[in-house]
């Protein structure tokens, strides 16, 4: 699984990019995006996903299968 960024909520502050331990987050258009192939949910690095922890607008959410 991985996390993703809700583009409509993201204010492009960049806080999450600096915190991601595997550099999975990069600017994309007017927002930021998470590479699902890189995201490890912070396992082995932190107790909780750091992008979720630092995002001021709760734009980082788990990818859910539909
Ligand atoms: S959950 Fe962790 S590894 Fe995945 S994008 Fe967020 S900060 Fe990066
Ligand atoms: S911390 Fe949240 S608002 Fe800031 S760039 Fe990341 S997803 Fe967007």
pLDDT by residue for the chain (66 residues), tens only, comes to: 899 999 999 999 999 999 999 999 999 999 999 999 999 999 999 999 999 999 999 999 999 876
Q: Using a cut of 0.75, tell me whether the model's pTM lies above it.
A: yes
pLDDT at residue number 29: 96
pLDDT at residue number 20: 98
55 class by beta-carbon count within 10 Å (0-12 exposed, 13-18 middle, 19+ buried)? buried
In this structure, what CATH number is given to the domain that contains residue 50? Answer: 3.30.70.20
pLDDT at residue number 66: 64
Q: Within 10 Å of residue 62's Cβ, how many Cβ atoms? A: 12
Ligand 1 contact, 40 CB (< 6 A):
yes
Site of tokens 């995002």: 55
Q: Which of 17, 26, 32 to mutate to test the pocket of ligand 2 (most atoms within 8 A of CB)?
A: 32
Q: What is the domain extent for residue 49?
A: 3-62
Distance of CA 63 to the CA centre of its chain: 10
**Residue range 21-34, pLDDT digits in tens:** 999 999 999 999 99
Q: Within 10 Å of residue 5's Cβ, how many Cβ atoms? A: 20
Ligand 2 contact, 5 CB (< 6 A):
yes
CB 16 within 8 A of CB 25: yes
């Amino acid at each position: 699984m991985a996390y993703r960024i809700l583009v409509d909520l993201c204010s492009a502050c960049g806080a999450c990019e600096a915190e991601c331990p595997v550099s999975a987050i990069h600017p994309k258009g007017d927002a930021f995006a998470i590479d699902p192939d890189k995201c490890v949910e912070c396992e082995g690095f932190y107790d909780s996903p750091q992008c979720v922890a630092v995002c001021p607008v709760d734009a980082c959410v788990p990818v859910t299968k539909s």
